[in-house]
Structure formats: C-alpha cells, structure tokens
Structure 1
Amino acid sequence: MRRTPGAARVSGVFDLHVHAAPDVWARRGDDAQIVRWYAEAGFTGCVLKGHYDATAGRAHAVAAGSGLAVYGGQVLNQHAGGINPAAVAAALDMGARVIWMPTADAHTQAAAGLPRLCCQHTDLADTTYAIPPVDWSVVAEVGQILRLIAEADAVLATGHLSTAEVTWLLPAARRAGVSRLLMTHPSYTVPAMSPAEAAELAQQGAYAEVTAYQLLHQPDCDAARLARFVAEVGYPRIVLSSDAGQPENPTPPEALARLIDALAAEGLDRSALLACASDIPERLVVPK
C-alpha cells in the first residue's frame, strides 16, 4: 500500500491506543491490516485495545514476523466481570501490558449516552461500574487489582472513570507500587477533565493521553483546545495516540499524523509532539 505523506512524517511512532477487528463494533481493519499500516508508515509498535476483548493473545499472534512491538491488554467492562481481579490476573499472566479501568460500561459512559454493548443487545443487564469515591463497595477488589498490576510492572489506564475516581485511584495505585500510570484521554467527553486538573495529576506521576479521535469526533473540541491542554499539562507528561480504527476515520497512522500536524499548526513544538507519540508512550508500555 502506498505510504501517505502524513504517515511518512511520523515514522518511529508507537501508538498505544488503537482498535482493530474482530470487535463488537465495525473496524477499518483487522489486527494484521492495522500492523501492516504501521509497518508501512515506519511505526515501531502499538497497543491493541478492545472494549470487550482481551487482546494480549491477539497482539502476540500478529507481532510474529511483523518487526513491530505489539502489545495487548484488558478492559474491565461487563464481559470481564467489571472490577474483577481474576480477569486482571489472567490477562497479566498472558502478557497484557495495559489494564484499563471500565470504559464502555463505566457509569460515566451510560450517563453521557455513549455506546455500550447492552445497547445493541437489549437482553443483557444494564450494568455499570464505578470505584471510590463513587462506589466504595469495590475498594478491596481495586486494591487487589493494583497489587497485581504493580507485580507485573504493567500500565494502569484510567478508562472512562470520572475525574473524582481518577483523583482517588492514582494515589492509591502509587501506594500499591504501580509506577506506570496513564490517564485515558482525560479531556474527552468522559471524563471531561479540565487542563488544570489533568496537570495536577500529571505532576503526581501520571501521563495524560490526547487522541486523534478527539480531534476528529469530540463535540466542541478542536486543535486549539487540544493544544491548550497539551501546553498546560506539559510535553513530558503527554502521550499522543490515535484511538482510531473506526471505519469512518483515516487509517490509524494517518489519524495520528493529522493530530500531530494540527497541534503543530497551533504553534506547539513538532519535535516535542513527536516524542509524545514515540519515545514517551513506548517507554510507558514496553517492559524493561
């Protein structure tokens, strides 16, 4: 496939958030196609994310012979039993590098009217998940999950939890020994975290993700708003990823190139942005 100019400009990138088929929702390409696009664009690797699938096994299979570092993880949605230490233990034992707190089945997702599996399978229970300080009943399970992530030296990602939950979770994770902390697109509709809130949490050791999906689809969001967010949090604590793979979007390498181009056009430093899409996310995910 012909390499696009945008993809060529972001060679060396590591995309820590991409969606591929098979999935419960339509995707632009399967695991193999996504990895081929990355290889053609000169990327070094990626993390496959499935809201309703554990992706460590898929990542292991598609990485073979690709020349790229491909990793997977586990999202704690309804299919995995929500805040379920057993699902986390199994995923980590199979090589998962990222454990995401609830996303599509977080209480915030339901409140915002965003897509969920139970919306297309109405016979499923309309179950949502939360952690302290919204739901204190799962504090023991969260603690066990954090210890498992710390033991595996894996990444804890905050998913679609609310700002209050993220604010509670990150210090708890640090106390449990988790050193790799990622705020999943904190300025997206869920959780709609302010730049000041994200900057304060980033100063405590977490990274804040900004995605191409936000640029392409988030209501009331544009490049200027994302650039202000990056500037306030600071380049060293920012991760740029695509969150792409949807049929209506450009290919993931193209989507990430558009994000970098758009932020650079707002006056941000291109070399610093490239680090936010390459060295920083790769160090965050790749085991030592």
Structure 2
Amino acid sequence: MTIPSALHKVLHGLVDLHCHSGPNPFPRRFDHAEAARDGERLEMRALLVKSHHHNTVMDLLAMGDRLRATRTEVFGGIALNNQVGGINPFAVELSLRMGGKAVWFPTVSSAQHIAYHHGGGGFPKSTVELSTELVEIRGPDGDLVPAARRVLDLVRESGALVTGGHMDAGRILQLFTEARERGVERMLVSHPNFVVGADYEQCLELVRLGAYVEHETSMYDPEVRNVRWGPEVLLEWIERIGPERTVLASDLGQDGRPLPADSFARVGAALLDLGLPEKDLRRMVRTNPAYLLGLDDD
C-alpha cells in the first residue's frame, strides 16, 4: 500500500503497543525484526511485541544484530498465562530486568477469554499442541493473590506498563485499583469492546484511576476478513473516553492479515474523514503510547 504523504506526515513516528510478530506458537506473517523494518515505511518510532505464551524480551536479545539495522525500536514483555506459570513474579522479574517494558495480566488463560473463545472458536490454531488452564488473580476470599501484588511492585520499580490482558472489567478494576495504590503509573486496557466486555462507564472508571484505553486498528480495518466494526464505532469510543486517554495499536502480525503500517493508514484516514482532528490522531498513535513505553515524546 502506498501511504499518501499528507497521511504519512500525521502518522510518522507512531508507536505500536500491540504487535503479534514471531517467533510464536501461532502462525505469524513476520518476525520481530521484519516488523520493525516494515514499520520504517511510517518512520515508526517503536513497537511493543507481544506473545500470549512467552517472554518476548529474549527473542529481541537474540535478534540484536538485525534489530540494530532498523530505525524502529522494538521492546518486549511478558504475558501471565499458564505457559509462564501464571502470576509468576520470578518470570516477571527476569523479563523486566532484562529490558522488558510491559506485563500483560492473563490473556488466553483468563476466565473471560476462555468463556469467549469456548472450544477455541474464533481464535487462531497453534502450530503445536498447547494446554490452556485458567489463571486467576483472585484468591478464594476474592482478594488479589499475593503474587499479583508482587508483580505490581516489580512493575512499579521498573516503571513498566501493566495491562489488564483479556480479563473482565471487574478484575481489571480490582487490579488497577491496587496498582494505583502501589504507585504504578502506566496502565492500559486493551480492546474493551472485544473479549473484555467493558462499556463506556466502566472504562471511564478505569481512566479515573490513571489508565489508558487501547483500540486495535485490526478490528476496524476493512481489509481484515470479518472486520468487527466500522470506523464510526471507534470514533464514538474516542469521543466518549477522550483522545487524551485513548491509544490506537494494530494487534497485527498474524499470518494472512494486513501489515500494521497499512492498517494504521487505512483506519487513520477513515477517522480523519469522519472529522477527527489530526492533532488527536497524532496524540493517540504517538504521544500516549510513547508515554506508556516510558519514551520521551520527541
């Protein structure tokens, strides 16, 4: 896709907080270094690579020579699903101290995800057989398990980003309330209207705790097969939550799906056509995600 120069000017320097490049148990269109190279088409400043199953920081260290050849910085983190032992402070400690920038609380191992994708329907088929077991952040008394508190302390110490993963809005609220009390500054809710099932008011409650709300271009991109919503739905979310607390990310990298740069361009252009000011789009793709990664907005 050729990106028009006027649109390129608005999007250049963007930061993608949700890239599913490989290696990964799910089929991927490209690896982390190839994702960075493709991001150069938009002069992408940085991207955060996510796996539901392993600590991506080690991938990046192994790809160091290739990554240094690109201008796009690439960061990793860890998702707390059963493949890493669930709510595992030791795995988090390793990831963050080796350079990780994000901790995703349970995604594919959350009760919300398991219920939504019952039997695996609607989710990619892995290249190897994987077990999925529930990972719970609450103990029998309904309070956060001690390991979750330790994870939040590690996040605070490193200045990293914590996300609610694919958990339901109630669990995310409980987690973020504790995170704020412990001094965590960077919190993010991913795709509230997909899997998570959070409405506007629930998201505004999380925003009042200091959280940002992330929407994925892949869910509004007409080039994605079975696209979920039109850009009007995304614009409504932006207007309800406010661009000051909204982030746009791609959630792309899967085999057979569009390249992130192209998806950002299509969805960005659609939002501008609907009347979104350029400054608001730039804030959501550059300023806000740069802050969440601990980068200065240059």
The answer to whether TM tops 0.5 is yes
Match of 1:113 in 2: 117
After superposition, what is the alpha-carbon deviation per residue over 1:91-126, rounded to whole angstroms, capped at 9, x for unaligned?
Answer: 111110000001111111110116499975997554
Q: 2:254 is aligned with what amino acid?
A: Q
> For 1:53-68, what aligned pairs fall within 5 Å after superposition?
53-60=54-61, 61=64, 62-68=66-72
Q: 1:243 is aligned with what amino acid?
A: D
Bigger drift between 121-130 and 52-61 goes to 121-130
- Report if aligned partners of 1:28, 1:247 keep a CA contact under 8 Å in 2: yes
After superposition, what is the alpha-carbon deviation per residue over 1:197-255, rounded to whole angstroms, capped at 9, x for unaligned?
Answer: 11221122100001112214677522111111111100110111111112232211111
Take 2:91 and 2:184, find their aligned partners in 1: how far apart are those partners? 18
SS in 1 for 2:214: strand
After superposition, what is the alpha-carbon deviation per residue over 1:164-199, rounded to whole angstroms, capped at 9, x for unaligned?
Answer: 1011111100111111111122222x1121122112
> For 1:265-276, what aligned pairs fall within 5 Å after superposition?
265-276=273-284
Q: Tell me the TM-score normalized by structure 1.
A: 0.90
Take 1:124 and 1:223, find their aligned partners in 2: how far apart are those partners? 35
Residue 229, structure 1, aligned to residue 233, structure 2: no
Match of 1:239 in 2: 247
Take 2:146 and 2:111, find their aligned partners in 1: how far apart are those partners? 19
Match of 2:259 in 1: 251
- CA RMSD between the two structures: 2.6
Pair 1:269–1:82, CA change in 2 (3 A): same
Take 2:250 and 2:127, find their aligned partners in 1: how far apart are those partners? 28
Pair 1:22–1:266, CA change in 2 (3 A): same
Bigger drift between 25-34 and 57-66 goes to 57-66
SS in 1 for 2:145: helix
Take 1:97 and 1:169, find their aligned partners in 2: how far apart are those partners? 18
1:88 is matched with which residue: 85, 89, 92?
92
Match of 2:133 in 1: 127
Residue 191, structure 1, aligned to residue 192, structure 2: no
> For 1:11-30, what aligned pairs fall within 5 Å after superposition?
11-30=12-31
Match of 1:32 in 2: 33
Cα drift, residue 151 of structure 1: 0.7
Q: Give me the identity figure in percent.
A: 28
- Report if aligned partners of 1:14, 1:44 keep a CA contact under 8 Å in 2: yes
Take 2:278 and 2:284, find their aligned partners in 1: how far apart are those partners? 10
SS in 2 for 1:136: coil
Take 1:260 and 1:135, find their aligned partners in 2: how far apart are those partners? 45
Cα drift, residue 63 of structure 1: 3.2
After superposition, what is the alpha-carbon deviation per residue over 1:41-89, rounded to whole angstroms, capped at 9, x for unaligned?
Answer: 2111111111112111333425323222211000111111111111111
Aligned length: 286
- Report if aligned partners of 1:89, 1:148 keep a CA contact under 8 Å in 2: yes
Take 1:195 and 1:46, find their aligned partners in 2: how far apart are those partners? 27
- Report if aligned partners of 2:82, 2:132 keep a CA contact under 8 Å in 1: no
Q: Tell me the TM-score normalized by structure 2.
A: 0.87
SS in 1 for 2:16: strand
- Report if aligned partners of 1:242, 1:256 keep a CA contact under 8 Å in 2: yes
Match of 1:99 in 2: 103
> For 1:122-161, what aligned pairs fall within 5 Å after superposition?
125-132=131-138, 136=142, 139-161=145-167
SS in 2 for 1:35: helix
Cα drift, residue 287 of structure 1: 5.3
SS in 2 for 1:99: strand
Take 1:136 and 1:125, find their aligned partners in 2: how far apart are those partners? 26
Take 2:24 and 2:200, find their aligned partners in 1: how far apart are those partners? 32
